[in-house]
Structures are given as structure tokens and as C-alpha cells.
Amino acid sequence: MSWSQKQFTLPSRSRGSYLVTDHVVENLPELRGYKVGLLNLFVQHTSCALSLNENWDDDVRADMSDALDRIAPEAGPKGQDLYRHSAEGPDDMPVSVSSLHG
């Protein structure tokens, strides 16, 4: 049995749902040597979450983003602030709440 640990950086992106598989495989070429194993990914950012979804249809990512926007909108129906915490911008808290569901 073997294991390794590696750190790499995902590109910065705006709020939304993105595929990261190619980026992970590119940064972990040693994965090709395994047929069975366990991969743990730890994202060191408070406003990011990983979710496993089928990705055959691009609509899945759009639907996930839409659902998360409904769960944690950036503003109220009349544009009013919904959250006290906004130190990193108006999307800071909605993204943090969405991460709990991602």
C-alpha cells in the first residue's frame, strides 16, 4: 500500500459550478498508476465546496448553480442585503452558505 500528499492550486473563478477533474488529473499524474484507491481532496477556502455529479449533460452544472442561487441568493427580492457578513464582497456569505450544500 502506498500513499502520497500533494498541494496544487485551482484557478480562481467566480461563483458557479465548475468541472475540476482535468485540473486534478493534470496535477496528479501518479493517479494513472492506480487501479483502485481513495482520493481525498481538501480545498483550503471557506467559500468552496466539492460535489460529485454526473457531467454527461452540461445542464447539470447550470441546474446546480441555479439551485444554489435559490438556496442562498446574493440579495433579497428588492435588492436588499440579506447577510451581515460581507467582508469579502456581496457574494461572500451566499457562497459560504452554498458551500454547505455543495
Q: What is the pLDDT of residues 16-46, one digit of tens each?
A: 788 899 999 999 999 988 899 899 999 887 6
Across 46-69, average pLDDT: 84
pLDDT reported for residue 102:
45
Look at the alpha carbons of 91, 94, 100, 102 in this order and tell me if their dihedral is positive or negative.
negative
Across 58-74, average pLDDT: 86
Look at the alpha carbons of 27, 54, 94, 76 in this order and tell me if their dihedral is positive or negative.
positive
Q: Which residue has the higher pLDDT, 23 or 90?
A: 23
**99 confidence band (pLDDT: 50, 70, 90):** low
| Percent of the chain surpassing pLDDT 70 | 84
Cα 39 vs. chain centroid, distance in angstroms?
A: 16
C-alpha closest to that of 6 among 37, 29, 35, 22? 29
User: pTM for this structure?
Assistant: 0.66
DSSP code at position 71: H
